[in-house]
Amino acid sequence: MGSQQLYALTTPLLTTASGAKMGKTASGAVWLNADLFSPYDYWQYWRNTEDADVSRFLKLFTVLPLDEVARLAALSGSEINEAKKVLATEATALLHGREAADEAAETARKTFEQGVAADTLPTVAISRIELDAGIGVLTAFVMAGLVPSTGEARRQIQGGGLRVNDNLVSDPRAVLREADLRDGAIKLSMGKKRHILLKPE
């Protein structure tokens, strides 16, 4: 056997449009195994994609034909949310199967209909300077008035009770930053019913 020619191909280091490293969310690592990160959380992760990333992520993380990607990417305004749902469902179907993906999409739709439309949620103002410096996730939940103390926030995280932008928080040391803003606010949730929007001013 002779020495055959060998090649190497590298992928771009993935960051989101706002410069954050992918998968490093306030909710901790985004695992691919369903027992560590549920299909519903996975669906939400993709649903929270920033507008500017939709086209790129559809190409990379779904197997949709490119003309379909182009059609979805051309949607603008509130319609871009439809493209994000397609991204979420297709990416989830690839990893967890079509049934789990449809189920996640349906759960998300129901949760939304149960009166948690983002613009009707109570808002708590935070300082822009503070957010720039990074706010610890435990402190953020205290600021939002969802828990009385950081100790309680920590206990809630252990019990899987806290979410940031609908993503489960698993790391009590997670830090909220500008990259976590969605439409100008960060959504904090305790359990299924209590939601607060943190808005920098």
Partner 1 sequence: MSDFKPKSDFLRVLNERGYIHQCSDFAGLDEKARKERITAYVGYDCTAPSLHIGNLISAMMLHWLQQTGHRPITLMGGGTTRVGDPSGKDETRKLLTVDQIEVNKNSIKGVFSRFLNYGASSNGAIMVDNAEWLTKLNYIDMLRDIGRHFSINRMLTMDSVKLRLEREQELSFIEFNYMILQSYDFVELSRMHDCCLQMGALINGVTLSMVLSSVAAWDRNNYMH
Stretch that binds partner 1, among 9-17, 136-144, 156-164, 189-197 (CB under 8 A): 9-17
Instruction: List C-alpha distances in Å: 76 to 56, 57, 58, 92.
Output: 15, 16, 15, 23
When binding is defined by CB under 8 A, the residue of 16, 20, 27, 33 that contacts partner 1 is 33
Q: Contact between 5 and partner 1 (CB under 8 A)?
A: yes
Stretch that binds partner 1, among 24-32, 81-89, 137-145, 176-184 (CB under 8 A): 24-32
Q: Contact between 70 and partner 1 (CB under 8 A)?
A: no
User: Please, what's the largest Cα pairwise distance for the chain?
Assistant: 70
CB-wise, 52 or 66, nearer to partner 1?
Answer: 66
Question: In the complex, what is the shortest distance from the CB of residue 156 to partner 1, in angstroms, rounded to a whole number?
Answer: 24
When binding is defined by CB under 8 A, the residue of 15, 32, 125, 151 that contacts partner 1 is 32
CB 161 within 8 A of CB 169: no
Q: Contact between 8 and partner 1 (CB under 8 A)?
A: yes
When binding is defined by CB under 8 A, the residue of 29, 70, 125, 133 that contacts partner 1 is 29
Q: Which three-class secondary structure state does DSSP give residue 25? A: strand
Within 10 A of 98 (CB to CB), how many other CB atoms are there?
Answer: 12
Sites for partner 1 among residues 35-64 (CB under 8 A): 36-37, 45, 56, 59-61, 63
CB-wise, 46 or 141, nearer to partner 1?
Answer: 46
> Phi/psi at 184 (nearest 5 deg)?
85, 5
CB 191 within 8 A of CB 161: yes
**Site mask for partner 1 (CB under 8 A), range 97-136, x = bound:** x---------------------------------------
CB 114 within 8 A of CB 107: no
What's the Rg (C-alpha) of the chain?
A: 18
- CA–CA–CA angle 33, 35, 39 (5° rounding): 70
Size of interface with partner 1, in residues (CB under 8 A): 34
Angstrom distance (rounded) from CA 47 to CA 166: 10
- CA–CA–CA angle 133, 171, 201 (5° rounding): 30
Residues that bind partner 1 (CB under 8 A): 1-14, 22-23, 29-33, 36-37, 45, 56, 59-61, 63, 66, 94-97
